[in-house]
């Protein structure tokens, strides 16, 4: 797109002033899109990390959750792996 704009400017179809305005707008939009990509990549990484923590926790629950009353003594271990972060959320240790 910027190449086409440049060609139009060189051929006289677009004035220098208009070219500068459109080029600046294009550059600003590109910078905004790159910032959005960075933000989204960070959010994806956070979500993937959280998914790994949930998978780890579920593996621990499956290991200790049986119908055998003898495993009830393992409950403190399971509870100790939960760390309260703030009201309504739980932080799982990293794998």
- Cα–Cα distance, 48 to 56 (Å, whole number): 12
CA distances to 13, 29, 50, 73 from 6, in Å: 10, 17, 46, 74
Q: What is the pLDDT of residue 38?
A: 95
Which pLDDT tens digits describe the chain residue by residue (95 residues)? 778 887 888 888 888 888 888 889 999 999 999 999 999 999 998 888 877 777 787 787 777 666 565 555 666 666 666 655 554 555 555 44
Q: What is the pLDDT of residue 94?
A: 47
Q: Which of 52, 45, 2, 46 is nearest to 23 (CA)?
A: 2
Q: What is the pLDDT of residue 76?
A: 65
What is the value of pTM for the model shown?
A: 0.49
CA distances to 1, 5, 22, 69, 81 from 92, in Å: 47, 52, 49, 26, 7
Q: What is the pLDDT of residue 35?
A: 96
Q: What is the pLDDT of residue 39?
A: 95
């Amino acid at each position: 797109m910027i190449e086409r704009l440049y060609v139009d400017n060189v051929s006289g179809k677009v004035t220098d002033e208009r070219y500068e305005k459109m080029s600046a707008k294009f550059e600003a939009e590109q910078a905004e899109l790159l910032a959005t990509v960075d933000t989204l990549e960070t959010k994806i990484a956070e979500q993937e990390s959280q998914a790994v923590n949930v998978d780890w926790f579920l593996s621990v629950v499956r290991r200790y959750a049986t119908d055998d009353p003898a495993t009830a003594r393992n409950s403190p271990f399971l509870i100790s792996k939960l760390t309260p972060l703030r009201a309504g959320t739980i932080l799982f240790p990293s794998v």
